[in-house]
Amino acid sequence: MIPRTSSPSHGGKPRDLARAKVTFDASRDVPNIEVLAVPIFDDLDGLELSGVAALLDCEVDGDYFRQRGFSGKSGETLWVRQCGAPSAGGVASADAGDRVGSSPDVLFVGVGKRGALSTEVLRRLSASVARSAKLVSSVGMELTEILAGEQLEPADAGRAVAEGARLGIYEPGTYKSERAPGRLERFVLVSQQAAEELLSGAKRGEVIADAVSLARDLVNEPAASMTPSALAHLASEIGSQEPAIEVRVWDEAKIEEEGLGGLLGVSRGSREPPRLIRLCYSPEQPVVSGDAGGERGAVGAVGAERDSAIAGSADDKACPTVVLVGKGITFDSGGLSIKSADGMSTMKTDMAGAAAVLATFSALAHLRPRVRVIGIVPATENMPGSGAMKPGDVVRARNGKTIEVLNTDAEGRLILADGLSLAVEEKPDMIIDIATLTGACVVALGPKIAGLMGNDDDLVARVRSAGVRAGEELWPLPLPQDYRAHIDSDLADMKNIGLPGGKAGALSAGLLLAEFVGNAPWVHLDIAGPARSGSDEGYLCKGGTGFGVRTFLELLASIG
């Protein structure tokens, strides 16, 4: 896993990325911990809590909870101090961790209805536990009761608990001069059955949560330091630390030489040079590419590194190739079609797609799916400098198709046109792009659900299913061919915006992207809504969410 290193700010002081590193363990008995969290279903009279009753030295039944105003409703908590009277509430008092005795305090946490337990419920549950107990150093979570009779594999449960706990106490890096990190360091999964399987799943969950946290870090970093070159440097760090991952970067001259007209056009208004980043993870066994159309192209690297085929070795045989393409607009002012001040305030988030792709690669060598995975990240700023692209200009993408640019704030689809063209040249079995692409998708689906489009119904269903298992909601949207006329241009092969007023804006953008994938099975994820959270909720924290990373890793695991 790539460490969270400090990155320089324009003020010269590195930002603080120090935060609690929670480790996970498993036990068949209540270990030596400060707090024991006990999940409770809402059927209070059907509980089997003899172990907890012995721990509290009293009868724990439905009446015990009802007298304390606790019903077992999802998210509800009841904190029982061993050295004092019980109290209801959502957060432990500041001195809860000051006492370490032979018996832990008990935190009852509502689960909701029996029979409805899922990995997503467990993620939210463990996040609530971790946040409530973050002022202590060690916490356990009793899982015997809630897993009995539920249709959940212990390894899946352990993974979900670890993901929720680590992501729940995530805090964005800060430039503040003073900071008080939480104390939580140890999280124990307690179960009388399958403790080993729970721990195995938790170890996998640690890797996934760390990858999501990396994506959050990248999105939360100010655009002054998270430039296209900085993204390329991070990708190179990933490659240097993971032998299974190869990284190549194109500089501005190579981008122009290779005909990436969309990326080059968007970059011309910025003094920050663009970068095209390619990562390739190769499993131990050889790999075979699909038979999608497209020619293989040459790749060049920054500096004196050699040119070589972007599509990799033609001799690779055996497992499938998946290409992930991430939009890397590190700051989006809108270009000459400039945004409002409010509209620009969160536009460092516009590289969330790129962050998801890079973070996915940070986990691949640890999870080792038997899939060849290629990541393509076109990265640039979209600024209104003196050389900026003008409304009415025409750009030519890598595959030769031309786009009339009528709104420079519809720039993501221009750089993705080049990224997808390169993806086709890999002759993959599937292509998935991820981008904070359209405000229209947020209008349609709100801030928590991503739009899902594609040219292959089976692949769309497979990606959506992976999202459900991962806890990331994706909603299928159509790509009606009679809407293709929305992007017809009198001057070029297409224009970069659809109907006036943003009507079907997300679909118009998807139809434009479809022009650059050839016959390859392809899915497009529009994450303009869920890429950023406006508040702390569940295991989300205000700021970047890392959306897409868990779906990608779940999908790749299901393939290989």
- The string of DSSP letters for 293-362 reads S----EE--STTPPPEETT--TT--SB-EEEEEE-EEEEE--TTSPPPHHHHTTGGGGGHHHHHHHHHHH
pLDDT tens for each residue of 128-147? 999 998 889 999 999 988 88
Question: Which residue, among 325, 324, 342, 322, has the nearest Cα to 333 in the 3D structure?
Answer: 342
Q: Could you identify the residue written with the tokens 């991503």?
A: 450
Residues involved in catalysis:
339, 413
pLDDT at 14: 43
Residues 36, 138 contacting (CB under 8 angstroms) = no
Window from 108-122, 296-310, 513-527 with minimum mean pLDDT: 296-310
Instruction: Between 423 and 84, name the one with better pLDDT.
Output: 423
Nearest to 213 by CA among 362, 432, 6, 16: 362
- Which domains does the chain show, CATH number per domain? 23-202 (3.40.220.10), 222-559 (3.40.630.10)
pTM for the structure as a whole: 0.90
> 512-537 pLDDT, tens per residue?
999 999 999 999 999 999 999 999 99
| Segment of 147-156, 289-298, 507-516 carrying the highest mean pLDDT | 507-516
**What pLDDT, on a 0 to 100 scale, did the predictor assign at position 102?**
64
Please determine, for residue 296, whether its predicted confidence score (pLDDT) is greater than 90.
no
Torsion, CA 346, CA 352, CA 353, CA 354, rounded to 10: 120
CB 363 within 8 A of CB 163: no
- Look at residues 374, 379, 332 and name the one whose alpha carbon lies nearest to residue 354: 379
d(CA 430, CA 322): 5
Span 108-134, average pLDDT: 92
Average pLDDT over residues 44-73: 84
Would you place residue 88 in the very low, low, confident or very high pLDDT band (cuts 50, 70, 90)?
A: very low
Under a CB-based contact definition with an 8 Å cutoff, are residues 323 and 459 in contact?
no
Answer with the residue of higher pLDDT: 48 or 283.
283
Average confidence (pLDDT) over 37-53: 82
Return the percentage of the chain with pLDDT > 90, whole number. Answer: 73
317 close to 370: Cβ distance less than 8 angstroms: no
- What's the whole-number mean pLDDT along residues 388-410? 98
**pLDDT higher than 90, residue 95:** no
